[in-house]
Structure formats: structure tokens, C-alpha cells
Structure 1
């Protein structure tokens, strides 16, 4: 805990919840990360809380010489700044492509202890203890933007593009939207954590805009000069008992379709990492790893490399963003097709959220299984998707999307009209 030298043991009830409400009530920016102690390759997110009032300018985000902590989101549509691409589909909530802040308070939570980067006064803890936990609402009527029939029609179009050689695999997403009068993002996050604790859970606030995330997927982490990407491709539901669970796990591992999907995105990740890494240093540490989550098994591969000397955060993002698991392959042509086929602007969905430390090390997850809300305009949305290949069954892909949406619908007490 040398990065967080000051230690505290709060001795009042609900202190973790009260910390979040204190941050919300006093700061325009907060980010809360929780890895839920998952046995994840290269470890899950640390348990961290960052709060602050200083939004970073874009030049400051990319300036590695500043040696400061930076916390934030890179939206999917930042792709348009990296390649000759466009995003002209309807915007569900207007959001910035880049949103980062410099924390004033940085906390690492370990069991019943809080470790802080700065000394926190007694009055700080008194303020937190005095917070009243509100009576809250997480309900919201949810509407799908795509019918099942429209979804299936789009999948068949994608398979035509595949036959024509335009793409090999395309991650096609659909959105669900909601309107509310009162809605509490912190309670929604806690509810999501209870229903589906994930290795890359995150809560992010930028003024009135919020992200509530239970992501199973890491985008990239940097440790010294080691760079690690962990694409997920391949999903099957958990069984209702141990025997069924083991059978489903075996079915996922044996599925030629799922392995082909995963291999394509693993190769794409290797290619992306090679642009900024030493020749010959890119390697696949694990291929087709099957990992259990509360409701599904996922197929995860781990790719690592050693960065070339002098490569900074901006160059890494230019080489690797967006993550191949949310686009498909080949990446640029497939992103153009995604824009043509989808009916909403992804914005923060399928982007990346994380933090960078003073030494330039970082950890970012993929923004999936996530609710994005604006408390001022009183709207929210979430996206779900799956990889479409030549042998994909459109009806089964639709069911996979609903499986991914299920926990978010439960958090919102909402039912899709489909």
C-alpha cells in the first residue's frame, strides 16, 4: 500500500455506501472501481474510489510528463479521431468522447481498511458519517430500439457482407432506452453488484452524467513496460446444477464457432499490440480460457507484449482503440459497416473506463453490461451485442443479447416490451 500511505478503519455503519453519497453530494466527478476479488488472469480491478473537481483538458490526458493520476472514459466514437470514420446515428444521450478528471482524493479499500493517498482529517470522516442514506428508486420503463424481426434481418445482412468478403466477424449491438422522474445511480450500482458482481465493476460520475458498469472484460492494462489485452468472445449460460454447469462449460470450450470468434479477435489484439511493442515480444499467454461468472461462462484469451521504449498512453490508444471484441475484423471496414447497420450512436457504450497512475501504468475495462444515464435530461440507455459470423444463428444471437440484458433489466425493475 505504499501508493496509499495513510490508513483508516471507519467505525460507523454503512461507511462504504456513505463514502459514495458523500462524494456525489460534494464533488462533480467520482469514479469507483471494484474487482470483487475475482480469480481473474492478471487480477481484476483494485477496489478504489477517486473524487475530484478538476476535469482534464485533452492535452493533459495525453501528456505523460505531468506525472499525475488521471481517471476517466474514452467513448467508442473516439474512433473517428483515429481513423476516417463517422458516427451519424441518433444520439441517445449527448456525451463527450473523452472525459477525464484529476482526483483530489484517492482511496484504496481493503476489507475494513481505507488507504488514502493524502491525509484525511477527522472532520472529513465526521462529514461522511453524517451522510443520510436516501430512500431511492432504481425503476425505469425500458424500451428496445430494435424488434426481434429487425435484429434477425440485420444479422442476415451481416452474413451477406461476410459472404461478399467485406468482414469476417462483426459485433452487432442493439440499445434499450428509458425515461425516469427520479433515479438513483448509486443504488442502481449496489443492486447491480448484488445481482452480478464482476471483475471490472465501475461507477463513474461526470456532473449529471453517470456510468453504472458490471463489465466482465478488461481492455488493456499496463504494468511497467508490459502491456496486456484480454478479449472476450464466447458466451454460454450457467447451468441450473453442477452437472449442467460442467456440460455447458465443456460445450463452450468445444464450440468451433465460439473458438473461431475468439481466435479472430485474439489475432486482432496481437496485431494491435504489435504496433507499439518490441518485435517478437507479443505472445498469447492463454487461449480459450473458460471463466465462470454469476450467470454465464465466458471465453477469455490473454495477450501480452513488451512496449517499445518511449511509447506513451496516446500512442497505445491510437494503436489499439476501440477494442476488437466490440468491433470485429478487419477492424476499420467492420466499424464502417457497424455504423451502417446499427440504429444508435454508441457513445460511452463499448468504450473504455479506467485510471492512469503517476508512473503511467493503467487499467481499463470495456464498457459493456453497463447503464449510462443523465440525471438532468432524465434519460438512460444500455447496449448489448454479440459477434456475428458466417455460421451464426440469428435467433440464437438474439437470445444471447437478451441474456446479457437480463441483469440490467432486473436492476431497472424494467421489462423489455419485446
Structure 2
């Protein structure tokens, strides 16, 4: 960042354990009970499982409208209502979180403009604060209108990977992620969703997730945070731990 390579980078790290024996279906049920989120998903490919409790939408197409809702900005929930309200207000007023969020909003606007009709891309909501069981999140909504002639493949090529899990500028940040992150992300920070026969679709961002191999009994979860010039390393670390808190509660139960 100091060299001018990028403005913001979403740096992620893996937490893992070997020799874990568990029932993925039961674990997913418990995870979504502890942390019910609008973009949860259970996905299996042979012996590999994804248990996802994601609060974030990557991209949705509703008829001629494309919608993206990146998350940048996180604050912990508190059982004390007054403290919880202050945490929520503090997140909304945070200069750092707003700067992170608006950088990604600009990136998403640019991505959508590659496939949407000229002049139709707009920010429907900026710095919206949404409350989930474990955290408050700062979410912005960007949309644009698209012609029927634009294919699903063209849309994905223009917008994936999502800006909230890369950074800005996207291409350079992806090179830095490849250089500095110690493990490959795999499906983490990818997307799971559906594509309907009428061409509509809805995809999440794979975060707040467990990855489990029921042959090797390898369990993995990853978390990341947006790093900018003004970031405090200790606070970024605490944010990562906060994001996997629900998964920690799952293992306390078991």
C-alpha cells in the first residue's frame, strides 16, 4: 500500500485442524441455528463439504436488473442493548470503514458498467447498517440494467472475483494475494448460488464457512479483513476472530 501498488487489499488466512470426525449435515444445522444468515448454503462435491453461513450477496439478476451488495465494515454485537446500539452507530460513523466500503462500491460500479446499459449503474444504498446474530455489517447496494443479449458467462467474467474479497485495483490486488497469502483460497471467497431457466440467478460470497473433507478428516475455515493505509494490525486480527466466532460456538456445543 505504501508503495502505491493498491489502495485496499482483503488479506485472508486459514485456520485448520486434522483428525476431525464430524457429521457435516448435523454441523450445518447447528451452524445455521447459531448464525442464521440470508445466504447460507450446504454444498457437497464427492468427499468435500462446504458449510456456509454467509451474510453477503455477490450478484443477483432479477429480469433486466443486476444487483451487487458488497460488505465492508464489521462491528461486534453485544447483549447489552445500549452497548449494541453504540457499536452500530460507531460502525456507521467509522471513517475507516466508510473509506473501505466506498472503494469497493466504486470497483463494483466499474465492474457492472462493463455489462450494463450506459448510464444505468447506480448506488441504491451507501453505508447501510444491517444487524446479524453475531455482528453488525456495513452493506452498500449497487445495481444496473442489462440487455437480454448479454450472457451469464459475460456477466461473471466482468464481475468475478468480487471486489469485497479482493480489493482495489482488482487485478493488481489479485497478484498480491497470490504472492502473500500462505494458502490457496479454494472455494473460500468464491460464490455458490443458482441459475434459473429464465436467466435469473443469485450467488453468495463464500465467507463464514467451514470446509470439511470426510475422507482425510481435514477441517478448515478462513477469515479476512480489508487492509488500507489507515488499518491497525491488531484491530484487523480481532475482526478476523470476530467473524469466525459463530463457528467457535459450534465447536463449543459439540
State the TM-score, normalized to the length of structure 2: 0.97
Residue 248 (structure 1) aligns with: 87
The aligned residue for residue 117 of structure 2 is 278
Q: Map 1:93-112; keep pairs closer than 5 Å.
A: none
Give CA deviations for 1:186-211 in whole Å, capped at 9, x if unaligned.
11101101111111111111221111
| Structure 2 stretches lacking a partner, 5+ long | none
Where in structure 2 are the equivalents of 1:4-23 lying within 5 Å? none
Q: Distance in 1 between matches of 2:132 and 2:8?
A: 25
Write the distance in 2 (CA, Å) between the matches of 1:219 and 1:309: 20
2:104 is matched with 265
Work out whether 1:233 is the aligned partner of 2:90. no
Residue 352 of structure 1 aligns to a residue whose secondary structure is coil
- The aligned counterpart of 2:25 is 186
Matches within 5 A, 1:56-71: none
Q: Deviations over 1:88-115 (max 9, x none)?
A: xxxxxxxxxxxxxxxxxxxxxxxxxxxx
Q: Deviations over 1:50-98 (max 9, x none)?
A: xxxxxxxxxxxxxxxxxxxxxxxxxxxxxxxxxxxxxxxxxxxxxxxxx
Structure 1 segments, 4+ long, off by >2 Å, are none
Runs of at least 5 residues in structure 1 that lack an aligned partner in the other structure: 1-161
Question: What is the aligned partner in structure 1 of residue 234 from structure 2?
Answer: 395
Tell me: higher relative CO, structure 1 or 2? Use CA pairs within 8 A at least 6 residues apart.
2
Query: Secondary structure at the residue paired with 1:412?
Result: helix
Q: 1:299-310 residue pairs with structure 2 within 5 A?
A: 299-310=138-149
The correspondence for 2:60, drawn from 221, 224, 227, is: 221
- Report deviation, 1:182: 2.6
Counterpart CA distance in 2 for 1:253 and 1:368 is 22
The SS at the match of 2:147 is: coil
Aligned position for 1:365 = 204
Give the aligned partner of residue 170 of structure 2: 331
Residue 110 of structure 2 corresponds to residue 288 of structure 1? no
Contact 2:134-2:245 at 8 Å conserved across structures: no
Quote how far apart the aligned CAs of 1:295 are. Answer: 1.3
Larger-gyration structure (1/2): 1
Partner of 1:163: 2
Which residue does the alignment assign to 1:347? Answer: 186
RMSD in angstroms over aligned alpha carbons?
1.1
